[in-house]
Structure 1
Amino acid sequence: MEKNFGRRFEGKVAIISASTQGIGFGIAERLGLEGAAVVISSRRQRNVDEAVNKLKKRGIEALGLVCHVSNAQHRKDLIKNTIEKYGKIDVVVLNAAANPSVEGILETKESILDKLWEINVKTSILLLQEAAPHLTKNSSVIFVSSITGYHPGRGLAMYGVTKTALLGLTKALADEMAPDTRVNCIAPGFVPTHFASYLINDDEQKRAIEEKTLLNRLGTTQDMAAAVAYLASDDASYVTGETLVIAGGMPSKL
């Protein structure tokens, strides 16, 4: 049955990076269903076009742009086109990530280390630098980290370390951008998206992951989107510098 959401983002403009599928798309869809004009992006025009079409079919105001977050001109154009069309930015969700290796940290090549740092941490800072001058008062920035940021296990160790960096970045920027902009973070558990498909293609491995949760299931993109919608909304107007773990009770912190 179709859920009916409120309209907490009526008149708001939200940019979500890496948002034509998976968690990013789920976030864009949820914010759009609650009234936001959403700006989505990814590296491929075809993916952008398909995602915009899906959103518009649901009555969502959407602008789609090609943006490889490592490309400085793409980042500039993403912000420039958003401002030209909507005149402001209320919400920025930094979702872009890469995990090109499952090697141990000491076996990871320098080029892979550079890519992990660049995509998972550096480009989020650079994109936010472009967006910051256009953020409205009472705006919201949300980073997408990971449960692996708390426990960088084998196979995801260096990826997890970059996600740990986002936890610290959230704290630092919450201080730097206060009081006009709130900065928070979500740490998703395992969600069966294309990005994480290699983790759950094997039924035995999928069950092992489910058994690590208290709720005995994997997360969904809707679970993650609901958390972002809360943090971006006025319902969280007194919340900043925090990371919300959405992992079904998997161990994270006290």
Structure 2
Amino acid sequence: MTDDIRARHVAGPATVDVDRQRHPVHMALVLEGTCRLRRHDGSLVPLPHSTLVIEPDHATIEVLDGARLGLVSFLSVASGPSLFEGAPGLRQVAPVDAALTRITEVVMAWVLAEPPTGTFARHIIERTLRDLVGGLILDSRLRPVTAPEQSLYSAVLHHIADHYADADLGPESIAAAFSVSTRHLTRAFQEEATTITASIASTRVSVAAALIGQQPELGLAEVSAKSGFSSLQAMRRAFRASGRNSPSAMRTLAAQRHRAANRSRRDVDTTADGP
């Protein structure tokens, strides 16, 4: 579809054997209906609409009648570290935002129907696709697996994932959004051995790390603003408290990975063109 990303849609009823794909399946997104992940041991995992599956291995995905699935492969991942290695903490199966799913599907369907031919067009579209896919992966990290109606804690985590960039996001604003007292909200997080402030900071750190990994050319001050931090210094303190590498070190490593991926793509293009 582009120099780096390969994608296709599968409509049910169908079965996808991820080990027999021409391009390795690095990501599967349930676009509509319900699918099932059947692992090699025979266990079944239901995959409702707007579910992301990361790097399924030795498994089949059953696309039920009326369901649709999007499969994505990355040349840069095939030639370098896996998604799990590049983004520790990922879950293999996780819910994602339904609106983001629809937008990603529309863009991918359009590109599949009319692939770009010019170098500049490929570059712009590939960047757009990578940002959308990166957004899906990040969203899958921020959203709890449990449904939001199951607990106040889970619902608030979803709320934080949607509003991390709000400057006034905090215990008071969240309590008001859920029509509960801050004491009741605090108690719900204490039962999970954490705090609201720590959860907000953790989400913002994850967003900042994803932005740095996807777009190392961004200035760190811009990253901190996009991630909801009040300042670059606040972002650096949050990274230090989380035990991660500093934003600067992470940015250097991301730039190196991007250069290596670009070299891999050029090598593949040269091989494909022949002598």
TM-score after normalising by structure 2: 0.27
Higher relative contact order (CA 8 A, sep 6+): 1
Structure in which a larger fraction of residues adopt helix = 2
